[in-house]
Amino acid sequence: MSPSLSPYPSSTFLGLPLEIRDQIYRLCVPQNLVFNYSWNRSGASREKGFCVEEPASEYFYGTLGPKAALPALLLVCCQITEEVERMLYGRNTFKIQIDNQAQSNFAQLLSTERRSKMKKIIMVFEAAEMLSRPDFTMNPTIWDGVLGNVTMLGIVAKQPEHRKNGSPEGAKDIFEDWAARLRPKLDYLSRALSGSAQVIVDADNMEDTIRIFQGFREVMSTHCVFKPLVTADCIFGRGKFSSEHGQTSFEWVLWDYPSSSSSASSDYYI
């Protein structure tokens, strides 16, 4: 690849070829993190609106760590901001629970332009949230510009917990209610996603939920597979978050960067 030409003097930073600038950005821009926009915040961290999940570190909120050159690097000039944001939003994962409050928070915190730079998204569809808000829909104004550019979409689907209902008939009714609210959202995803996107579904091996997504897979033009996602361990209570491990607090979770402390299954990471 030939070096990118620059109108700036070669003795300046912007005079360096873009390929060299990208190498420098990689040293100071956080990558391979999961930015979680799903949870509510209180106090100072609420202003940030997200949680950063990082390997080999405790959970920390509203910060990118001591080694990050942000936000200072974003304040230098418009060109550097554009180049850094392309890396920041393109090489990290953004996780959001699909409900009204999280969707609104996501749109308020990130502009349309910044959302369009995202390449990896994880969507969490939890039955409890969906059943509590039957009128909720995914807003195309927010999602069209995101999903058309996404290269990898993770879907975490947690079905209703049948054991909380007194009768098998009642449990079936609750599941069918959830499924009826889930299907329109999957139909929208099948239309909005690029044909080149890869979709990874984690339904925690629940056969009824898998059947719903198998129908979704048949109408999608994208590549769709069923695999466990590490980021869903805390949702399903498995792995290090299982009762056998005695884990009750949230720790870092990623979806494609293995750790010796996580499951050893070769299919666990995507």
The CATH code of the domain that includes 207 is 3.40.50
Distance CA(162)–CA(9), nearest Å, equals 67
Asked whether residue 11 is assigned to any structural domain, the reply reads: no
User: Is 20 part of any domain?
Assistant: no
Instruction: Report whether pLDDT(206) > 80.
Output: yes
Task: Provide CB contacts within 8 A for 49, sequence distance 6+.
Answer: 37, 41, 62, 105, 108, 109
Is residue 193 in a domain? yes
Residue 173: per-residue pLDDT: 82
Report yes or no on 84 lying in a domain. no
Give percent of the chain with pLDDT exceeding 90: 37
What's the pLDDT band for 199 if we cut at 50, 70, 90?
Answer: very high
Query: Are 55 and 240 a contacting pair, CB within 8 Å?
Result: no
Number of domains comprising the chain: 1
Structure tokens that stand for 239 in this block: 């792995």
Q: Which residue has the tokens 């050893």?
A: 264
Contact indicator for 217, 211 with CB cutoff of 8 Å: no
Domain span including residue 149: 33-68+92-245
pLDDT at 19: 93
**Rounded Cα gap, residues 96 and 241, in angstroms:** 20
Tell me the whole-structure pTM to 2 decimals. Answer: 0.77
d(CA 91, CA 30): 8
User: According to DSSP H, which parts of 116-256 are helical?
Assistant: 127-132, 140-147, 168-192, 207-219, 233-236
- 110-128 pLDDT, tens per residue? 999 999 999 999 999 988 8
- Is 142 inside a domain boundary? yes
pLDDT digits (tens, 9 = 90+) for 72-108: 888 889 999 999 999 999 999 999 999 888 898 889 8
Q: Is residue 39 part of a domain?
A: yes
